[in-house]
């Protein structure tokens, strides 16, 4: 029987509760800078000054010329859950300010010495208030300018473990600088100043976004900016990308904002990076500052303790939209034809113009042709509907330099078929009406070669097909519309215990790629369908190999679980080297490769295509 003395649960003191909350909100000096900047921006200021000493360890001070606080509001400002920004639960789903929790000042003041000076515009008196480790002083009159100055000193004075975890001054200052950069990019209409001890780091007058970018990152950025602006009923996006030439070896200049709030989003960064990968090498990272506008009810900004991450209601739409817009902006800049064509939201109507893409044994797409299915994604609409061929895209990418002496008549070899793209697409393998100029050659059953007006290109058939299958399968996992060919007789397959548990784990993704698999007892499974791209008959070794490759993948590119699985599938399903291809197959391969989002690299970033300009070939004969 328990007695009262056995009771062990008690409510923590306010002081301790605040200190625990501070552990989440205040991680390092840059967190203090962020919270104070948020408050300064929310106060309506048009001028904000940040002063840090010892990279913020000794002091972070933020001065704004915003609305200021009344005498009575000052102590409240440091109470937890005290805020002027929201009052009802509904407000939480309709946030227009950076702050909303009423938590930052309480947290900061529980782990530092805080001094606040404030005056409202029109008030005769200003006020000053001190709070040290949660212990408040009286509010006393003070001579101060309209606005608010908050000074946070001796951060973590009462949490030595936190203090010990801080990194070098250089690292802490870098975090502070990034935080100021984020605020300054989000609000070019506000002037910002950042000083470290006595040294001025930024002095940024109110300006346009392009000038703000130049002010922060240097003048050469301004000339290299690529503007983006587009909106749909779901999301708007504007901001700037940069010429790939300006990409840097380190990350750190990638800025995403939603409704003016900076956020991190690995997947969006990955998408943007992958669109850029056509132009930049591995481990190079472009600058971008992209501003999403979404109905505040459609984005949850309350999913992360320091509000660094957000959750879009419709993550997929935002991703697809972003990819389309970035791709279009870069393609326009570099005059690449719009292979993506359709802007987000334009769904494809009706069938495409491509004929079946059929490899005699390794591949067949009898029910739902490869090309037709490939058009589902909005990115592919323009490409397929306009009937632009892969060769035409190569022509545009590598236009003739004016010294075309390849012997072709005006208009070049490809004109015939460009005028009538249906012709080549519907030819059967046995039909041999190929223009010499439109021809494809296979080298060692491994490479496909063709000519453009300004040179020739060589495509690795395996890498190219891997890219095609990879993008297609990835998009089926996103759309949930896989294409499956049903087996005449379902196959029962026994797995090892470890393969079986792995199979269980990846089953939902395998189904989205197009496998129909039902788990049975005793480590066995019934396979009744496989993706349309896969050769029927080898279900067991194929599934086993996919599982093995998925498990043992340690390639150079960081992939999510889903991408890894799709990669393993693509590597198994792609036409192998050593396979002879007909003219129609080669043409289909090239067309479909250049309909991909990222035709130039396979999923592991190996080149699919090498272009050799005619000039280089001429030089060899000199
Ligand atoms: N620089 C400032 N100028 C004017 N008012 C301020 C300033 N800083 C804080 N306040 C007032 O103090 C309140 C509490 O600030 P605090 O940062 O703790 O919470 P919040 O901004 O409301 O929410 P969050 O915890 O999400 O930041 C604010 O709601 C605001 O009314
Ligand atoms: Mg705040």
* Ligand closest to CA 150: 1
Nearest CA to ligand 1 atom 8: 39
Q: Distance from the CA of 66 to the center of ligand 2, in angstroms?
A: 14
Domains of the chain, CATH where assigned: 14-206 (3.30.565.10), 212-333 (3.30.230.10), 347-622 (no CATH)
Q: Report the predicted TM-score, pTM, of the whole model to 2 decimal places.
A: 0.59
Q: What's the whole-number mean pLDDT along residues 149-168?
A: 91
Q: What's the whole-number mean pLDDT along residues 415-431?
A: 32
Residue 348 has a pLDDT of 24
Does position 195 have pLDDT exceeding 90, yes or no? yes
Bridge-based pairing of strands 140-142 and 147-153 is: unpaired
Q: State residue 444 phi and psi, 5-degree precision.
A: 50, 30
Higher pLDDT, 301 or 75: 75
Does position 412 have pLDDT exceeding 60, yes or no? no
- Indicate the pLDDT class of residue 438, thresholds 50, 70 and 90: low
- Establish how many alpha carbons lie within 13 A of residue 122's alpha carbon, considering only the half-sphere containing its beta carbon: 3
The best mutation among 71, 105, 112 to test binding of ligand 1, ranked by most ligand atoms within 8 Å of the C-beta, falls on 105
* Ligand closest to CA 100: 1
User: By mean pLDDT, which of 228-232, 350-354, 422-426 is the weakest?
Assistant: 350-354
Higher pLDDT, 400 or 81: 81
318-354 residues labelled b (16+ CB within 10 A) or e (exposed)? bbbbbbbbbbbbbbeeeebbbbbbbbbeeebeeebeb
Does position 43 have pLDDT exceeding 80, yes or no? yes
Q: What's the whole-number mean pLDDT along residues 412-435?
A: 33
Q: Distance from the CA of 235 to the center of ligand 1, in angstroms?
A: 28
Cα 236 to the chain's mean position, in Å?
Answer: 16
- Indicate the pLDDT class of residue 126, thresholds 50, 70 and 90: very high
* Ligand closest to CA 108: 1
Q: Distance from the CA of 137 to the center of ligand 1, in angstroms?
A: 19
Residue 572 has a pLDDT of 86
Q: What's the whole-number mean pLDDT along residues 337-352?
A: 31
Does position 424 have pLDDT exceeding 70, yes or no? no
Structure tokens at 561: 């679980």
Most confidently predicted of 8-22, 55-69, 369-383: 55-69
User: By mean pLDDT, which of 81-85, 264-268, 357-361, 496-500 is the weakest?
Assistant: 357-361
Q: Distance from the CA of 107 to the center of ligand 2, in angstroms?
A: 10
- Indicate the pLDDT class of residue 54, thresholds 50, 70 and 90: very high
* Ligand closest to CA 114: 1
Bridge-based pairing of strands 288-294 and 254-258 is: parallel
Nearest CA to ligand 1 atom 29: 83
Q: Distance from the CA of 618 to the center of ligand 1, in angstroms?
A: 69
Does position 373 have pLDDT exceeding 70, yes or no? no
Q: What's the whole-number mean pLDDT along residues 564-590?
A: 88
Residue 509's nearest CA partner among 554, 566, 553, 469 is 566
Bridge-based pairing of strands 455-460 and 447-452 is: antiparallel
Structure tokens at 153: 């000193």
Q: What's the whole-number mean pLDDT along residues 586-612?
A: 86
Decide if 395 contacts 414 (C-beta within 8 A).
yes
Residue 203 has a pLDDT of 95
Does position 474 have pLDDT exceeding 80, yes or no? yes
Kindly report the average pLDDT of the chain as a whole number. 79
Residue 200 has a pLDDT of 92
Q: pLDDT > 70: what percent of the chain? A: 81
- Indicate the pLDDT class of residue 52, thresholds 50, 70 and 90: very high
In which order are the strands placed within the sheet that holds 524-531? Answer: 484-494, 524-531, 516-519
Q: Distance from the CA of 70 to the center of ligand 2, in angstroms?
A: 16
Does position 134 have pLDDT exceeding 90, yes or no? no
- Indicate the pLDDT class of residue 35, thresholds 50, 70 and 90: very high
pLDDT in tens, 298-323: 888 877 777 788 889 888 888 888 98
Q: Residues lining ligand 1, judged by CB closer than 6 Å? A: 35, 38-40, 43, 64, 66-69, 77, 82-85, 99-106, 148
Nearest CA to ligand 1 atom 7: 39
Q: What's the whole-number mean pLDDT along residues 397-423?
A: 35
Most confidently predicted of 122-136, 583-597, 598-612: 122-136
Residue 346 has a pLDDT of 29
Higher pLDDT, 195 or 421: 195
CA dihedral 605, 609, 610, 612 (to 10 degrees): -150
- Indicate the pLDDT class of residue 389, thresholds 50, 70 and 90: low
568: left (phi over 0), alpha (psi -120 to 50) or beta: alpha
Q: Which long-range contacts (CB under 8 A, 24 or more apart) does 162-167 make?
A: 162/23, 162/111, 163/57, 166/28, 166/29, 166/57, 167/28
Residue 35's nearest CA partner among 128, 98, 115 is 98
Q: What's the whole-number mean pLDDT along residues 505-510?
A: 91
Residue 619 has a pLDDT of 86
Structure tokens at 458: 């060589």
């Amino acid at each position: 029987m328990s007695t009262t003395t056995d009771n062990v649960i008690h409510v923590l003191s306010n002081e301790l509760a605040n200190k625990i909350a501070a552990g989440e909100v205040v991680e390092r000096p840059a967190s203090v800078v962020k919270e104070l900047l948020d408050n300064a921006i929310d106060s309506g200021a048009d001028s904000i000054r940040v002063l840090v000493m010892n990279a913020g360890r000794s002091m972070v001070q933020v001065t704004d010329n915003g609305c200021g606080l009344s005498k009575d509001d000052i102590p409240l400002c440091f109470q937890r859950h005290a805020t002027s920004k929201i009052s009802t639960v509904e407000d939480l789903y309709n946030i227009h300010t950076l702050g909303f929790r009423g938590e930052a000042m309480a947290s900061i003041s529980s782990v530092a010495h805080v001094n606040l000076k404030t005056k409202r515009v029109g008030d005769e008196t200003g006020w000053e208030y001190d709070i040290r480790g949660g212990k408040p002083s009286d509010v006393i009159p003070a001579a101060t300018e309209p606005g608010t100055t908050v000074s946070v000193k001796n951060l973590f004075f009462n949490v030595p473990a936190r203090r010990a975890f801080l990194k070098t001054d250089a690292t802490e200052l870098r975090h502070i600088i990034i935080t100021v950069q984020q605020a300054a990019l989000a609000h070019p209409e506000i002037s910002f100043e950042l000083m470290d001890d006595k040294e001025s780091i930024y002095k940024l007058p109110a300006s346009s976004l392009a000038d703000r970018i130049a002010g922060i990152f240097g003048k050469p950025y301004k000339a290299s900016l690529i503007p983006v602006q587009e909106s749909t009923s779901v999301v708007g996006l504007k901001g700037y990308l940069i010429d790939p030439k300006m990409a840097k070896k380190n990350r750190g200049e990638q800025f995403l904002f939603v409704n003016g709030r900076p956020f991190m989003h690995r997947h969006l960064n990955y998408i943007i990076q992958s669109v850029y990968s056509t132009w930049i090498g591995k481990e190079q990272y472009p600058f971008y500052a992209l501003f999403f506008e979404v109905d505040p009810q459609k984005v949850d900004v309350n999913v992360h303790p320091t509000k660094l991450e957000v959750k879009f209601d419709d993550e997929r739409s935002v991703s697809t939209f972003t990819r389309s817009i970035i791709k279009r902006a870069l393609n326009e800049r570099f005059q690449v034809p719009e292979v993506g064509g359709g802007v987000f939201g334009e769904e494809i109507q009706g069938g495409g113009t491509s004929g079946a893409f059929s490899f005699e044994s390794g591949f067949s797409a009898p029910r739902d042709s490869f090309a037709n299915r490939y058009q589902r994604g909005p990115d592919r609409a323009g490409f397929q509907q306009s009937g632009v061929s892969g060769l035409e895209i190569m022509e545009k990418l590598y236009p003739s330099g004016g010294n075309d002496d390849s012997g072709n008549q005006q208009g070049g070899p490809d004109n015939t078929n460009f005028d009538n793209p249906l012709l080549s697409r519907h030819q059967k393998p046995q039909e041999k009406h190929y223009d010499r100029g439109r021809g494809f050659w296979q080298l060692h059953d491994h490479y496909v070669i063709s000519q453009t007006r300004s040179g020739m290109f060589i495509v690795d058939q395996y890498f190219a097909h891997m890219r095609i299958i990879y993008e297609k399968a990835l998009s089926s996992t996103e759309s949930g519309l896989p294409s499956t060919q049903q087996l005449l007789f379902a196959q029962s397959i026994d797995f090892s215990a470890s393969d079986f548990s792995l199979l269980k784990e990846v089953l939902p993704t395998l189904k989205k790629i197009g496998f129909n698999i039902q788990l049975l007892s005793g480590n066995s499974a019934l396979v009744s369908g496989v993706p349309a791209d896969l050769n029927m008959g080898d279900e067991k070794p194929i599934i086993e190999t996919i599982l093995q490759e998925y498990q043992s993948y340690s390639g150079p590119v960081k992939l999510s679980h889903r991408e890894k699985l799709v990669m393993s599938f693509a590597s198994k399903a792609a036409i192998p080297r050593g396979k002879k291809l007909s003219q129609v197959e080669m043409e289909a391969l090239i067309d479909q490769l250049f309909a991909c989002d990222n035709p130039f690299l396979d999923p592991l970033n190996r080149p699919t295509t090498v272009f050799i300009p005619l000039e280089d070939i001429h030089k060899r004969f000199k």
